[in-house]
Structure 1
Amino acid sequence: MDYETVFVRKGRGTTLSVLFLLLLLLVAIWATMQAIQWGREQLDPPGEQGAAINLTLPPGITTKGISDLLEDYGVVPDARAYEWYVRLKGAPLFQAGDYTFHTNSAVWEVLEVLKDGPRYVEQTLRIRVTIPEGLTVRQIINEIDTIEDMPFSGAEFEAEMRMQHVVSNYAPSPSAMPSGAIEPYEGLLFPDTYYLGPDSTPEELLTQMVTR
């Protein structure tokens, strides 16, 4: 009995389908790798640590308050990534006080600073800034000018507010605030006693007051 060899030719459509599926697989792998790399860079940004940043962590500050503060000063690239890592891994107990961080830090480098505790600051170098209750923003600005050895003037503090670089979580978003206005800060500058150094900036005091 003779057998006839029959060759079956694959359809062109089948080949295109396989190629399309392979392309989708490659795109999915690439997107996954990009997402992983992005996540790593939010936790451990590329490059070396940068300039030293002195920050005061007030009593009762929350994880969100710390993460926002660190992002505002460029210590960590993304506040939400810091929060996610801390909630997943846990954060060390820390004391309120003055800390020296560095810009472009990994999350675990920040946590190590918190674990080590606040740096010691000579009391003779600390400037006591007491903001009484019931003052308006304008009265707070005037009060700053009455404080002995204050490292900046009330006018400089006002200028910092008008730039709207630092806003309270309870304030309207900067895009919704009138440009250069200080009125949105009314009632959001916490009355308390703050301690500054001779090189402290208006932004440092404003950050403390809106995050209390």
Structure 2
Amino acid sequence: MAINKWLKKSTIWLLTIIIGIGVFYFSYQLFKPRNENKMSAQVIAIKSGTSLNEITNDLYEESIIRSPLFFELYLRIRGLTTEIKAGHYRLTSKMSMLDIIDKLIKGKTAFYEFTVPEGMTVKEIATKLSNYGFNSKDFLKIVKKKKLKWLPERSKVNYNLEGFLFPATYYLSYDSFEKDVVKKMLEEFKERINPLQMEVKKSDYNLYQIITIASLIQAEAKLEEEMNLISSVIYNRLKRGMKLQLDATVQYALDKHKSKLFYSDLEVDSPYNTYKNYGLPPGPINNPGIKAIKAALNPAKTDYLYYVATEDGKHKFTKTYKAHLRVQKELKDK
């Protein structure tokens, strides 16, 4: 009887251990990533008021978690059912269940990485934003009409904010609206321009004019080392009361990029056309980077009045129209 009793107890203990190991192994498997070998990345939107059951089912259907039942049970046992933050989350099938929960509890929401290259126009920025789901028309309405206290009133400009949406890489939350993007870009501009305020005050031109000149430099210069030289040409022509005659302003006036301008294009009726109008255009023709802005504040000291582009992207600078024509002929005859 004693042996039978011992065998019975041993069997129960053995079964308990086996079941315990089985439960532990099964639970361990559920904690593991859904797929460690093949990553499936998804941006999951969790709206305010979404039920825990809806969240877990969405995560399962998007191949992020192994078991919605176990996921929900774990959260309930830990008392975390009300701790999940609303927002957009970038989650992958290679993340463990605990990593996923940590993200959702801490509100580590997903971001767009949105890069604006130097020299982009507001219309080009709007087109790029539309690829991320933003409404390009709403964006253009804002940049067209929005006024800034720290800028003088302007007339005849295509867009009030052209020139002041600073080119940089931005991290935008999936909950962002067009106005949020504009706000970020304006804040970046103010932060970048702030260290240059003393130089702006010393200049004969105000901030709006400086940014306009910088946009011309940005559009005309292919090489950074030539920015100060092109800046000097612009200032020299302005001082002499000459028309700037810059192709980039015609391109902006045409509202489309042409690989080659014709003489008929130079006749386009627009205040931005510096072949027909004296002085600076009414506003910037793109959004210049900090190097172009610095070149606008620090033109090289030259007597250059002309330049012509060469095939390698460089420019030949000359002081007289006669020399300018000679260089054009030399380049054409090559």
Q: TM-score band, normalised by the shorter chain? A: 0.3 to 0.5
Where relative contact order (Cα < 8 A, 6+ residues apart) is larger, the structure is: 1
Please, what TM-score do these two structures have when normalized by structure 1? 0.46
